[in-house]
Amino acid sequence: MKKNLKGMSILIVDDDPDLRELLSWDFSSAEGEVESAESGVSAIELIRKKKFDLIFSDMRMPQGDGRFLAKEVLKLKKNEKPLFFLYSGFNDISSQEAKDLGITHIFSKPSKISDIIDDILKFI
């Protein structure tokens, strides 16, 4: 198992600017190369330009939510598909739907970020 996110390109998606900034900071601290987007729609623009290894996305956002983003990611070619993590405070998505959408794992919001990163490392 990897000790950190070194060498991984990461996309953080959250509509709340404070949370987006804090998450970016934590993922950067774990040595990931972090970019961020404020909505599903703007995340897609970034995904089209660049291949990410990992996406960590909020569920409820005004412009394209987590489900919308997951569906778009599902359309990518197999070798371009990043790991997809959803951060959701509500039972918006059933485990079956998560599987169908190719979602790697759903993290319950709120959770300690260090725990989240530890868990993410298990999937890499």
Partner 1 sequence: MKKAPLHPQELDRLMALNNLQIMDSISEREFDELTLIASEICNTPIALISLIDEKRQWFKSKVGLSANETPKDLAFCAHAILQNDIFMVNDATKDERFFDNPLVTDEPYIQFYAGAPILDPNSNLPIGTLCVIDNKPRKLTQKQLEALKGLSNQVYKLLELRLKVSSLTRANQKLLFQKTAFDHMSEGVVLQDKMGNIIDYNPAALKVLGVSAERLNGKTSNNFDWNCIRENGSIFPAEEHPSMVALRSGQFVSNVIMGIQLPSEKTRWISITSTPLFLDNGPSPSHSVTTFADISQQRIAQQALFQNAKMTSLGEMAGGIAHEINTPLAIIISAAGQALNALSGDAPKLEMACGKLNKIDATAVRISKIVRGLRLFSHDSEGDPLEETSMKQIIMDSLALCAEKYKYSGIKLEVNISDNIQVLVVPTQISQVILNLLNNAFDALEKYEEKWVKITLAKKDHLAQLKITDSGKGIPKDLQTKIMQPFFTTKEVGKGTGLGLSISKGLIESFKGHLYYDDSSENTCFIVELPLFEKTE
Which residues of the chain form contacts with partner 1 (CB under 8 A)? 15-16, 18-19, 22-23, 25-26, 29, 60-63, 65, 87, 89-90, 109-114
| 28/102 with CB nearer partner 1 | 28
Closer to partner 1 by CB, 15 or 54: give it. 15
CB of 84 to partner 1, least distance (A): 19
CB of 2 to partner 1, least distance (A): 20
Q: Which is nearer to partner 1, 16 or 50 (CB)?
A: 16
User: What would the DSSP string read from start to end of the chain?
Assistant: --SS-TT-EEEEE-S-HHHHHHHHHHHHHTT-EEEEESSHHHHHHHHHHS--SEEEEES--SSS-HHHHHHHHHTS-GGGPPEEEEEESS--S-HHHHHHTT--EEEESS--HHHHHHHHHHH-
